[in-house]
Amino acid sequence: MPQVRVLLADDHPTFRAGLVALLQTDSSVTVAGEAGSGDEVIAMAEDLKPDIIIMDIQMPSCNGIEAIRRILQKDPQVRILVMTMFEDDHTVTAAMRAGARGYILKGALPDEIIRAIRAVAAGEAIFSQTITIRFIEYFDQIRPGVREGDLMMLTIREREVLDLIARGYRNAEIAETLVLSPSTVRNHITNILSKLQVADRAAAIQKARDAGLGK
Protein backbone atom coordinates (compact mmCIF):
# COMPACT_ATOMS: atom_id res chain seq x y z
CA MET A 1 0.00 0.00 0.00
CA PRO A 2 1.46 3.44 -0.93
CA GLN A 3 2.41 5.61 2.01
CA VAL A 4 -0.36 8.00 3.07
CA ARG A 5 0.64 11.55 4.01
CA VAL A 6 -1.54 12.89 6.82
CA LEU A 7 -2.01 16.44 8.10
CA LEU A 8 -3.37 16.71 11.65
CA ALA A 9 -5.62 19.62 12.63
CA ASP A 10 -6.51 19.97 16.32
CA ASP A 11 -6.03 22.80 18.79
CA HIS A 12 -4.89 20.51 21.63
CA PRO A 13 -1.13 19.78 21.39
CA THR A 14 -1.38 16.84 23.80
CA PHE A 15 -4.04 15.15 21.67
CA ARG A 16 -1.99 15.75 18.52
CA ALA A 17 1.08 14.25 20.18
CA GLY A 18 -0.86 11.12 21.10
CA LEU A 19 -2.19 10.81 17.56
CA VAL A 20 1.30 11.28 16.09
CA ALA A 21 2.61 8.51 18.35
CA LEU A 22 -0.20 6.21 17.19
CA LEU A 23 0.35 6.92 13.48
CA GLN A 24 4.08 6.30 13.84
CA THR A 25 3.26 2.67 14.64
CA ASP A 26 1.91 2.22 11.09
CA SER A 27 4.62 2.20 8.41
CA SER A 28 2.04 3.02 5.70
CA VAL A 29 1.28 6.41 7.27
CA THR A 30 3.48 9.47 7.64
CA VAL A 31 2.57 12.71 9.43
CA ALA A 32 3.17 15.56 6.99
CA GLY A 33 2.37 18.32 9.48
CA GLU A 34 0.34 19.58 12.42
CA ALA A 35 -2.04 22.55 12.60
CA GLY A 36 -3.54 24.12 15.71
CA SER A 37 -6.21 26.34 14.15
CA GLY A 38 -8.60 26.49 11.22
CA ASP A 39 -6.63 29.17 9.37
CA GLU A 40 -3.41 27.24 9.92
CA VAL A 41 -4.73 23.98 8.49
CA ILE A 42 -6.09 25.80 5.42
CA ALA A 43 -2.65 27.31 4.72
CA MET A 44 -0.78 24.08 5.44
CA ALA A 45 -3.12 22.04 3.25
CA GLU A 46 -2.22 24.26 0.30
CA ASP A 47 1.52 24.10 1.02
CA LEU A 48 1.88 20.41 1.97
CA LYS A 49 -0.70 18.78 -0.34
CA PRO A 50 -1.44 15.90 2.08
CA ASP A 51 -3.45 12.84 1.05
CA ILE A 52 -5.64 13.02 4.15
CA ILE A 53 -6.44 15.69 6.73
CA ILE A 54 -7.66 14.58 10.15
CA MET A 55 -9.84 17.51 11.17
CA ASP A 56 -11.30 18.57 14.51
CA ILE A 57 -14.53 20.60 14.48
CA GLN A 58 -13.97 23.21 17.19
CA MET A 59 -10.80 25.20 16.56
CA PRO A 60 -9.69 28.84 16.87
CA SER A 61 -9.96 31.37 14.01
CA CYS A 62 -12.04 29.10 11.75
CA ASN A 63 -14.07 26.04 12.73
CA GLY A 64 -13.50 22.66 11.11
CA ILE A 65 -16.64 22.79 8.95
CA GLU A 66 -15.62 26.04 7.29
CA ALA A 67 -12.02 24.83 6.98
CA ILE A 68 -13.23 21.72 5.12
CA ARG A 69 -15.19 23.87 2.67
CA ARG A 70 -12.32 26.23 1.98
CA ILE A 71 -9.73 23.47 1.60
CA LEU A 72 -11.86 21.46 -0.83
CA GLN A 73 -12.60 24.56 -2.90
CA LYS A 74 -8.87 24.79 -3.61
CA ASP A 75 -8.10 21.06 -3.73
CA PRO A 76 -11.09 18.73 -4.25
CA GLN A 77 -8.76 15.70 -4.27
CA VAL A 78 -7.69 15.87 -0.62
CA ARG A 79 -9.65 13.54 1.64
CA ILE A 80 -10.80 14.76 5.02
CA LEU A 81 -11.54 12.59 8.05
CA VAL A 82 -13.30 14.41 10.89
CA MET A 83 -12.20 13.35 14.37
CA THR A 84 -14.02 15.17 17.13
CA MET A 85 -15.99 14.92 20.37
CA PHE A 86 -19.21 16.14 18.73
CA GLU A 87 -21.66 13.42 17.75
CA ASP A 88 -24.91 15.36 17.27
CA ASP A 89 -26.80 14.82 14.01
CA HIS A 90 -26.41 18.39 12.79
CA THR A 91 -22.64 18.57 13.19
CA VAL A 92 -22.23 15.23 11.41
CA THR A 93 -24.53 16.34 8.59
CA ALA A 94 -22.76 19.70 8.25
CA ALA A 95 -19.37 17.98 8.03
CA MET A 96 -20.51 15.55 5.35
CA ARG A 97 -22.22 18.31 3.35
CA ALA A 98 -18.97 20.29 3.52
CA GLY A 99 -17.19 17.33 1.92
CA ALA A 100 -15.71 15.18 4.71
CA ARG A 101 -15.19 11.54 3.73
CA GLY A 102 -15.44 10.14 7.25
CA TYR A 103 -16.46 10.98 10.81
CA ILE A 104 -15.12 9.30 13.93
CA LEU A 105 -15.09 10.23 17.59
CA LYS A 106 -12.06 11.00 19.73
CA GLY A 107 -12.90 8.06 21.97
CA ALA A 108 -12.24 5.64 19.11
CA LEU A 109 -9.80 2.80 19.76
CA PRO A 110 -6.38 2.89 18.05
CA ASP A 111 -7.35 0.10 15.63
CA GLU A 112 -10.51 2.01 14.67
CA ILE A 113 -8.51 5.16 13.92
CA ILE A 114 -6.01 3.34 11.72
CA ARG A 115 -8.84 1.49 9.96
CA ALA A 116 -10.67 4.79 9.32
CA ILE A 117 -7.55 6.38 7.81
CA ARG A 118 -6.99 3.40 5.53
CA ALA A 119 -10.66 3.41 4.47
CA VAL A 120 -10.63 7.12 3.61
CA ALA A 121 -7.30 6.70 1.79
CA ALA A 122 -8.94 3.95 -0.28
CA GLY A 123 -11.76 6.30 -1.26
CA GLU A 124 -14.36 4.89 1.11
CA ALA A 125 -16.71 6.79 3.41
CA ILE A 126 -16.58 5.72 7.04
CA PHE A 127 -18.46 6.54 10.24
CA SER A 128 -17.89 5.41 13.80
CA GLN A 129 -20.42 2.87 15.03
CA THR A 130 -22.02 5.43 17.36
CA ILE A 131 -22.64 7.85 14.48
CA THR A 132 -24.06 5.10 12.27
CA ILE A 133 -26.54 4.09 14.99
CA ARG A 134 -27.59 7.72 15.52
CA PHE A 135 -28.35 8.14 11.82
CA ILE A 136 -30.41 4.95 11.75
CA GLU A 137 -32.39 6.12 14.79
CA TYR A 138 -32.83 9.58 13.26
CA PHE A 139 -34.39 8.25 10.06
CA ASP A 140 -36.47 5.68 11.96
CA GLN A 141 -38.13 8.54 13.84
CA ILE A 142 -39.67 9.90 10.63
CA ARG A 143 -42.96 8.12 9.98
CA PRO A 144 -43.41 7.02 6.34
CA GLY A 145 -46.86 8.58 6.12
CA VAL A 146 -45.53 12.02 6.96
CA ARG A 147 -42.51 11.58 4.69
CA GLU A 148 -44.90 11.35 1.77
CA GLY A 149 -46.81 14.43 2.86
CA ASP A 150 -45.95 18.05 3.55
CA LEU A 151 -42.35 17.56 4.62
CA MET A 152 -41.44 16.00 1.28
CA MET A 153 -41.51 19.52 -0.19
CA LEU A 154 -38.71 20.67 2.09
CA THR A 155 -35.06 20.55 1.07
CA ILE A 156 -32.56 18.72 3.27
CA ARG A 157 -31.35 22.02 4.71
CA GLU A 158 -34.92 23.17 5.40
CA ARG A 159 -35.58 19.92 7.27
CA GLU A 160 -32.46 20.53 9.37
CA VAL A 161 -33.65 24.05 10.20
CA LEU A 162 -37.17 22.80 11.01
CA ASP A 163 -35.77 20.10 13.28
CA LEU A 164 -33.82 22.71 15.24
CA ILE A 165 -36.87 24.98 15.44
CA ALA A 166 -38.84 22.06 16.88
CA ARG A 167 -36.07 21.58 19.46
CA GLY A 168 -36.56 25.15 20.63
CA TYR A 169 -33.50 26.72 18.98
CA ARG A 170 -33.60 30.45 18.24
CA ASN A 171 -32.48 31.85 14.90
CA ALA A 172 -29.03 32.82 16.17
CA GLU A 173 -28.51 29.33 17.61
CA ILE A 174 -29.62 27.73 14.34
CA ALA A 175 -27.17 29.91 12.42
CA GLU A 176 -24.30 28.92 14.71
CA THR A 177 -25.17 25.21 14.67
CA LEU A 178 -25.50 24.93 10.90
CA VAL A 179 -22.77 27.50 10.13
CA LEU A 180 -25.17 29.79 8.26
CA SER A 181 -25.71 33.55 8.21
CA PRO A 182 -28.73 34.91 10.13
CA SER A 183 -30.28 36.15 6.88
CA THR A 184 -30.00 32.68 5.34
CA VAL A 185 -31.73 31.17 8.38
CA ARG A 186 -34.56 33.71 8.06
CA ASN A 187 -34.97 32.85 4.38
CA HIS A 188 -35.13 29.14 5.17
CA ILE A 189 -37.81 29.75 7.82
CA THR A 190 -39.87 31.83 5.41
CA ASN A 191 -39.69 29.01 2.85
CA ILE A 192 -40.60 26.40 5.48
CA LEU A 193 -43.71 28.31 6.58
CA SER A 194 -44.76 28.77 2.97
CA LYS A 195 -44.24 25.13 1.98
CA LEU A 196 -45.99 23.81 5.09
CA GLN A 197 -48.80 26.36 4.57
CA VAL A 198 -48.68 27.50 8.19
CA ALA A 199 -48.90 31.01 9.56
CA ASP A 200 -46.33 30.92 12.31
CA ARG A 201 -43.48 29.11 14.03
CA ALA A 202 -45.76 27.33 16.51
CA ALA A 203 -47.76 25.66 13.74
CA ALA A 204 -44.54 24.62 11.99
CA ILE A 205 -43.26 23.10 15.24
CA GLN A 206 -46.45 21.06 15.59
CA LYS A 207 -46.08 19.66 12.07
CA ALA A 208 -42.41 18.92 12.71
CA ARG A 209 -43.16 17.02 15.91
CA ASP A 210 -45.96 15.10 14.23
CA ALA A 211 -43.33 13.98 11.71
CA GLY A 212 -40.97 12.83 14.46
CA LEU A 213 -38.60 15.79 14.29
CA GLY A 214 -37.43 17.83 17.25
CA LYS A 215 -36.58 14.89 19.50
pLDDT at 146: 44
pLDDT at 48: 96
CA distance 125 to 203: 38
pLDDT at 185: 94
Q: Is the pLDDT of residue 140 over 70?
A: no
Fold of domain 4-135: Rossmann fold (3.40.50)
Average pLDDT over residues 196-210: 87
pLDDT in tens, 69-109: 999 999 999 999 999 998 877 788 888 888 999 999 998 99
Local confidence band at 148 (pLDDT 50, 70, 90 cut-offs): very low
Q: Reduced to 3 states, what is the DSSP secondary structure of residue 109?
A: coil
Domain ranges of the chain: 4-135, 141-210
Give the least confident one: 7-16, 17-26, 49-58, 173-182.
173-182
Average pLDDT over residues 58-63: 90
Could you tell me the strand order of the sheet in which 79-84 lies? 29-35, 4-9, 52-55, 79-84, 102-105, 126-127
More confident residue, 57 or 211: 57
CA distance 195 to 200: 12
For the domain 141-210, what is the CATH code? 1.10.10.10
pLDDT in tens, 7-30: 999 999 999 999 999 999 999 999
pLDDT at 143: 47
Please tell me the number of Cα atoms within 13 Å of 184 on its side-chain side: 12
Q: Is the pLDDT of residue 145 over 60?
A: no
pLDDT at 41: 97
